[in-house]
Structure formats: structure tokens, C-alpha cells
Copies of this chain bind each other. A is one copy, B any other.
Amino acid sequence: MKRKRHFRPDWTETAPAPGTVRSVVKYGAPNAYKHPSDGWVAMMMQEFGMDEGDFSRKIEEGNIEVVLDRPVELKDEHIRQISAVVGEENVSSDAYSRVRYSCGKTTEELMELRKGIIREVADIVVHPRGKHDVARIVEYCDREKIPVYVYAAGSSVNFGVRPAKGGITLVLSTHMNRLLEINELNQTARVQPGMFGPAYEEALNNAPEHSGTARRYTCGHFPQSFEYSTVGGWVVTLGSGQASTYYGDACDLVISQEYVTPAGTFRTLDYPATATGPKVNDIMKGAEGTFGILVEVTMKVYRYLPGNRKYFSFMFPTWTAAVDASREIMQGEFGLPAVYRISDPEETDRGLKLYGIPSFVDRHLIRKGFVPMERCLCLGTVEGDAGYTALVKKRIKKVCRDYGAMYLTGYASKKWEKTRYTEPYMREDLQDVGIQIDTLETGVTWDNLHKVHQCVREYIKSRPATMCMTHASHFYPQGTNLYFIFLMRTSDVDEFREFQRGIIDEIACHKGSLSHHHGVGRMMAPLMDEHLGKEQMEVLRALKRHFDPNNIMNPGGQLGLDLSEDQKKRVRT
């Protein structure tokens, strides 16, 4: 037993070789890995009935060169014209670029890539130098009816960057990645869409040094993909950061936007509020590249006050108690926490094991009535003015205790915070041994939370040897999200896809939102008509026809705007 507990698979440590499928598949920095802990390995051995041999045989690692047998279909004249706009050095049509910038990080994509299966790719990859390049390209492509796709950080998990109709992919993160201006009076930042989260946050945190501001600022938006996501991506996909309960979702942070569309270029006006008809600034959010291309965005920023941050964590006796306390906190009118998360019993217990809770602590918890597969962990932070963070933490403690929770200090939250962006790295190791870890998520009102949680969980658990860990991590007075993490051992893409589709169907049929913050992409697209209803989808299609009459902007399924009835029925990819 002892030997087994300390068994450490020979995880890959090296950066993928340039030009390989693996280098397309791998999340994040080429050299960065996060291996499953001993606890993880032990858990997987037990759950999936795997032995050391299973963890030693690497499968489908993708250490093969990217090979593409599809010619560039775009006419030479088009390539010449586009090269004339951006410069030849900013256009590529080699196989590797075409594949790399056509892929996101959806589990099925990665499974298929590892098997050498390559789906639709762009004909050429273009790196515009600025918004004027984008405007000229869109104008040209509209005239010539060439499909235009956008790629920024490539962490999409719903086939949002897949160039379903070929054409060109614009990479916005290569050149269009700068902070243009901090307006300290208005507390706003004007940003190019391809700026990565860490660069943006660093520029704001160090604004006095970089930009000569009086104060330091924070963007307030920290999705799990923070390190491999861009400001523009946050806005066009309606993302949420881990501190959204206080700072708001990406859509709440946007003051104004500039778009290039086939119907023209425009910039919405900078107002804190206005009553001049339906707000075009809102209409554009979440269009996922189907109306046009976001080329600049003015975002709210916030004072950066890390010294005031308070951490907390609690153990609740049950999921019901955790949910009820959370609702009381969100409706309590005493201010809101920044990060706030509750884990369901399976996530809580797996978490406790994985992160090595000392057994004497566990025994103490059990003695106090916090028993395995009932107890639920809550963790979070409060940000803002010092008096505010002290008050909100105090009131949260009071509410949690009223609902039977035990205060566990801020230790777990601090630990979580340190590693919060690294979880996605584990996927490489797991896929190397034939294990898939994936997530699906939904927005729910309080009165529907338990039903969605229960039904989706039941569905996932109906598959033998499948783990399901669920948390709620973005809170509002009217409800929250549910984030389902599932793990299964399979290398069969069809089986995985069918199972995943079943989970989505469970979410949809129990009236959860099709997505709380991952967006629609092409994954949820076939379900959009049924989800929103014909009348609402026709509103989106009317906007699409207005902005993009030739359907060149991210065509081929995105948002479900241009799917045939037949395509809606087919299994998506």
C-alpha cells in the first residue's frame, strides 16, 4: 500500500517539440506543467481501476508533426491583397500556423488532434498591426466574400475559434495587445482587444510607474484562463472572472467599444449611463465575432488595494445549508465578497483528500458533524476599502455560523488563490494516460439550483467510474452558476462527445442557461433555437443580417445563427 501511495508516474516535463501536434494541444506556457498530486493519482487508480502500468503507457501524446493535406483554397490574388494591407511578414499559410490558429482547447478537439484528426482550418493566418488593418481586411473580405475568423488567446472551450468555412483567421494578440490609455478621473482603461490578462493587470497594478498615474488599479476580472485569455475575448464571449461577485461579469465592466463590421466601423459613446434608446454598447457584447471585430474597448478599472483583502473559508454541514447561507449573504445588503465559492459534497471530499487535509483535522470535522459526502467547503475573499472588507467578512462569518458552518480561517482560500490558474495544466498529463477532465457550466436562479444540480449529477454519475465535482462560483442576489467538472477514462471521442451532449441536454431540459460564462461557440449552437426560442434567435439573426449581410464574420454555426435544420439535429463538432 505504501509503495502504491507514493507511486509517481513518469509525467512529461519537456516542452513539446516545435511544429508538433502536442505543441498545438498543450495549454499555457510550453515548459509549464502541473502534475496530478499523489492524491490525484491514488484517486484515479481507485476510481478508474487503473494500475501503475496504465499510468506508464502514454497514449496519443501528439508528438507527431502537424501534417495538413489540404491546399490553401484562397486565391493568390486575395492573399496578395491582404498581404499588401498587413505586410507579408504578417501573413502565413504554412500547415502549422493554419492548424494552430484554428484550434481552441475543447476536450474533443484535443482528443482528436492527438489522434491526428484535424478539422476545419483557415487558409491563411493574418496578424493585423492595428484597427486600420482590420478595417481594410474586413472591407476587402466582405467585398470578396471571404470568411473572417478571430483568434486571440485560443483558450476557447466551445469551438469558438474554429474556421468552419476556411478563409482567414485574424490573430489579434500578436500586435493589437497594448493598453492605450488610463483615464484616472473616469477610472477607465482603453485597451486593444488582444492584450492578455496578466499584461493588462500588470500595467494597471503598476500604472504609477508605467503611466504616471497617482494610483494603482486592478481590472477586477480573473477567469481561470486569465493567463491565456485576452480583454477582447472576455467581452465578446461574456466571460466572468473569479471575483465577479464583487466586480461584476465582463459585460458589466465595459464602458464603450469600437467595432469593425461589414456594415461600417463605429465606436459607442463613453457615458456612465444614458437613456438614448436600446444600447448598442450592450447589443454588441457576446456576439462572439459574428457581427464584427472588437478593435478597442474602454473598461472600468478599480483601485488596487491588495493590502485590504480578507480571506475566509468555512465548512457547512450540507449543500442545502451552504446554498441557503450563500443566498442570505448575496441578499443581505451588507456588501459582497469578491471571490465566493461553494463546493458540493463530492468536490469537497475529493478536494480535502487531494489537498491533503491532516487526518486529525478530518476526525475533528467528522466529530463535529461535518461528515464525508454531506459537508461542503466554502471559500472566498473580500476586496475594497479596509473598513468595507472588515465589515463584509464579519457579516459573512455571522451568516455562515447561523447556517451551522465552522470557520476554517483563510488558509484554504489563500492556498486556492496561489494555484487558481494552474488547474488547466493538468489536462496534458491526464490525457497522456487516457483520462479526460472537462467542465460544463450554467447560470441558475436560486429556485432552480437544486434541481439542475441534482439532475445533472445523476446523469454524470449514471456512467460507471465517472467523477463529478460541482461548485458555484459567481453569485448574484437572484442566483448563481453551477460549474460541473467531470472526469472519465476514455480515449473514444464519440463516446466522450455523446456523454458530454447528454450533460448539456440535462442542463437545458432542466432550464439552466446553456452557458453562464463559457459562451456559445459551436458547441452550444445547435441548441440555441430551442433554448432562447425562435423569436429571440430571429432577433440575433436580424442583427447578423444587418452587420454582416454576406455572412463572412465567423460563419458556420457560431451562436447557432446559420445552422440548417439538419445541422441542428446532428451531433455537433
Interface-centre pick from A271, A383, A481 (highest chain B CB count, 10 A)? A271
* Residue from the list B300, B391, B518, B543 in contact with A278, Cβ < 8 A: B543
List of B residues within 8 angstroms of A275 by Cβ: 237-240, 286, 443, 513, 515-520
A334 touches B531 (CB 8 A): no
Q: How far is the CA of A254 from the CA of B323 in the complex (A)?
A: 23
- The answer to whether the Cβ of A265 comes within 8 Å of any Cβ in the partner chain is yes
Task: Let me know if B333 and A273 touch, CB within 8 A.
Answer: no
Chain B proximity of A363: nearest CB distance (Å): 36
Contact (Cβ within 8 A) A283 B286: no
Could you tell me the distance between the alpha carbons of A542 and B535 in the complex, rounded to whole angstroms?
15
From residue A289, how far is it (CB to closest CB) to chain B in Å? Answer: 11
Q: How far is the CA of A239 from the CA of B274 in the complex (A)?
A: 9
- Contact: A335 with B388, CB < 8 Å? yes
| B280 contacts A286, C-beta separation under 8 Å | no
User: In this assembly, does A446 line the interface, its C-beta being within 8 Å of a C-beta of chain B?
Assistant: yes
- Which of A146-154, A183-191, A202-210, A350-358 is near enough to bind chain B? A183-191
Residues facing B in A212-241 (CB within 8 A) are 237-240
When the two chains form the complex, which single residue of B274, B303, B542 contacts A543, counting CB atoms closer than 8 Å?
B542
* Contact, CB under 8 Å: B518 / A384: no
CA distance A305 to B333 in the complex (A): 9
Within the complex, what minimum Cβ distance (angstroms) separates A392 from chain B?
9
- Looking at A187, A384, A480, the one whose CB has the most chain B CB atoms below 10 A away is A187
CB <8 Å contact, B387 and A186: no
Knowing A275-B286, A286-B275, A333-B384, say if A477 contacts B300 (CB, 8 Å).
yes
Does A282 count as interface, using CB distance less than 8 angstroms?
A: yes
Give the complex CA separation of A385 and B396 in angstroms.
12
Instruction: Identify the closest chain B residue to A267 (Cβ).
Output: B533
Question: Are the C-beta atoms of A385 and B333 separated by less than 8 Å?
Answer: yes
In the bound complex, how far is the Cα of B519 from the Cα of A511, in angstroms?
Answer: 34
- Residues in B with CB closer than 8 Å to A333 are 302-303, 305, 383-385, 388
User: Known contacts being A249-B273, A275-B238, is A280 close to B478, with CB within 8 Å?
Assistant: no
Count of chain A residues with Cβ under 8 Å from any Cβ of B? 94
Tell me whether A269 and B385 are in contact (CB under 8 A).
no
A545 touches B542 (CB 8 A): yes
Contact B277 A520 (CB under 8 A): yes
A148 CB to nearest B CB, Å:
18
Complex contact B385–A520 (CB within 8 A): no
Q: Are B546 and A538 in contact (CB under 8 A)?
A: yes
Interface string of A518-547 (1 = CB under 8 A from B): 111000100010011111101110110111
Binary interface encoding of chain A residues 247-264 relative to chain B, with 1 for a CB under 8 A from any of its CBs, else 0: 001010001000001011
CA distance A270 to B478 in the complex (A): 9
The verdict on A444 contacting chain B, using a C-beta distance below 8 Å, is yes
Contacts of A279 in B (CB 8 A): 251, 282, 285-286
A115 within 8 A of B: no
Among residues of B, the one whose C-beta sits closest to the C-beta of A541 is B546
A186-B478, A187-B331 known; A532+B280 contact, CB < 8 A: yes
CA A520 – CA B279 in complex, angstroms?
12
Answer yes or no: A276 CB below 8 A from chain B CBs: yes
7 other A-B residue contacts (CB within 8 Å) besides A277-B532, A542-B546, A543-B543: A238-B274, A255-B478, A272-B480, A273-B513, A283-B283, A333-B384, A387-B395
Q: List 21 A-B contacts (CB under 8 A).
A: A183-B445, A185-B447, A186-B445, A186-B479, A238-B274, A263-B538, A264-B535, A266-B533, A271-B479, A273-B474, A273-B516, A277-B287, A278-B282, A278-B540, A279-B285, A280-B532, A280-B540, A283-B539, A333-B383, A333-B388, A542-B545
